[in-house]
Amino acid sequence: MTDSARRARRPRRRRRRLLLGRNKLRRPSDRIEGLIVAFLAAAFLTAAIAAACFTGHLYQSERATAAHTRPAATALSRPRPTGAIIHNAPPGASVQVWLARPGQTMAFPLSPGGMAGTALFVGIFLTAGAAAVLALCYLLCRMILDRHRLARWESAWTAVGPRWTSRR
């Protein structure tokens, strides 16, 4: 067998040994914990990919909104569009208002860097939130499995202990 074929089989053997190996010392709860870790890793990868897709969608929607806005000069003597807030403008002056649709004002659109920064922040926040939730799930599962292991160990020690420790 060639050296590269052996190297290709090694990771499969390691994975099989970690989760499904026939080690007599491995408890069923250890196998369950291995499966939980594999499931949570897959869930994290899925959440990270979903966060990246959402981030891209958010950036594209912000860019599309900014592309469809246009500045409109309005005077205070004319009726203002709904929701327009004009600060520190002298009476009768023309001011610039950003309109998303006719009659709807919006805040000044973000710069491309600001849009990218907002989308990046949202993506990082979503990924970190998913990591925190999955870490809490792992800790909860680990706590339950440790209680189960301790209960099994105590019942086994109750059966074996009196034979080992005889008090005379």
Residues 141 and 154 grouped into a single domain? yes
Q: How far apart are the first and last CA of the chain?
A: 62
Residue-wise pLDDT tens digits, 109-123: 667 788 888 888 999
What's the whole-model pTM score?
A: 0.60
Question: Measured in whole angstroms, how far is the alpha carbon of residue 32 from the centre of its chain?
Answer: 24
pLDDT at 6 over 90: no
The answer to whether position 1 is within a domain reads: no
The answer to whether position 2 is within a domain reads: no
| Domain interval for residue 143 | 13-66+112-163
Residues 151 and 123 grouped into a single domain? yes
